[in-house]
Structure 1
Amino acid sequence: MRYLASSAARAAPAVVLAVVLAASTVWAQPAAPPAPVPPPATDFPEIATTPFNRVVPMNEARTIGFFTALFPDCSVEGPVVARLLTKPEHGTVTLSQGSSFPRYAASSPLAPCNSRKVEGLRMVFEAAEGYEGLDRFSVLVIYPNGTATNLDVKVSIR
């Protein structure tokens, strides 16, 4: 009997211990994985492409474009930025800030600004020495208000 009592005494703590362990064990659910990060947007609206044809004399650098954005009082809205997307094969293009006279159509509300020099972006083309023929390149022009155009520039060198 003593053996049974002692056996029971020994068994009781084990049972109590098992009960305590079972009562104190917390079963946690695995954490949900973080939500996937969406990829960057790739469906930007198309930027219009505008033909831009010019004729320049051989062996001379010429301003073939001047880009500005003006308020109705002829003050500049902000800088115009341009990026050369494809280079010409038979010449060089230089994009630089400068001032010039704008050339708005007579029907434009900005036509009175044509008589004033304003700040803007000048595009100069110079053909390779002695080259005569056609050249082509493209430029992205971005205006201060966020509008943009791709210029498909074709230059006839004569």
Structure 2
Amino acid sequence: MRLVVIVLGLLLSMAPAQADKVVASGRPLQLYFAYATNPDCTSAGAVVVRVVQPPEHGRVSIRQTGVFPNFPPANPRNVCNRRRVPGVQAIYTSQRGYIGPDLVVLEALFPAGRGVSVQLPIRVM
């Protein structure tokens, strides 16, 4: 009985799987965006985003642009959520006429030296 409770506790504590992003065939989709922002909403430096694994059925473009951040209410940078801040976007576009799954893996490198890798499953309809 104790083993069942432990296993159930481990299963409940696991993060949910990331949902597929859904897009119409041939249409652009913002896959990911990132920013590094100071408390006064100025840039804390450039974020570099790289495609680690390109999609099999489309392309990804990376561009520097203004983005709306999404800081939680307790974060002092929360006031920045109402305005564009310097950032970077990754945009996916499938091959025209393709319908089915695709996958992109990106790596984001932040100015303070932190890096993250994200797997982004896509469902093209």
TM interval, shorter chain, is 0.7 to 0.9
Q: Which residue of 2 aligns with 1:57?
A: 24
Q: Which residue of 1 aligns with 2:59?
A: 92
CA offset digits 1:127-146 (Å, max 9, x no partner): 11011221012111100000
Instruction: Tell me the distance in 1 between the aligned counterparts of 2:35 and 2:19.
Output: 16
* Structure 1 pair 89–63 and aligned structure 2 pair: CA distance change class (3 A): same
Alignment equivalent of 1:136, drawn from 90, 103, 120: 103
| Deviation of the 1:107 alpha carbon | 3.7
SS in 2 for 1:110: helix
Alignment equivalent of 2:113, drawn from 126, 130, 146: 146
Verify: 1:70 aligned to 2:37, yes or no.
Answer: yes
Using structure 1 for the length normalisation, give the TM-score: 0.63
Residue segments in structure 2 that go unaligned for 5+ positions in a row: 1-17
Alignment equivalent of 1:106, drawn from 73, 97, 109: 73
What one-letter code is carried by the residue in structure 2 that aligns with 1:90?
H
CA offset digits 1:21-40 (Å, max 9, x no partner): xxxxxxxxxxxxxxxxxxxx
Residue segments in structure 1 that go unaligned for 5+ positions in a row: 1-50
**Paired residues of 1:52 and 1:151 also in contact (CA < 8 A):** no
**Paired residues of 2:49 and 2:106 also in contact (CA < 8 A):** yes
**Paired residues of 2:100 and 2:124 also in contact (CA < 8 A):** yes
Rg larger in structure:
1
Q: Which of the pair has the greater relative contact order for Cα pairs under 8 Å at 6+ separation?
A: 2
Alignment equivalent of 1:124, drawn from 91, 105, 110: 91
The alignment of Structure 1 onto Structure 2 pairs a total of residues equal to 109
Using structure 2 for the length normalisation, give the TM-score: 0.78
Instruction: Tell me the distance in 1 between the aligned counterparts of 2:44 and 2:122.
Output: 29
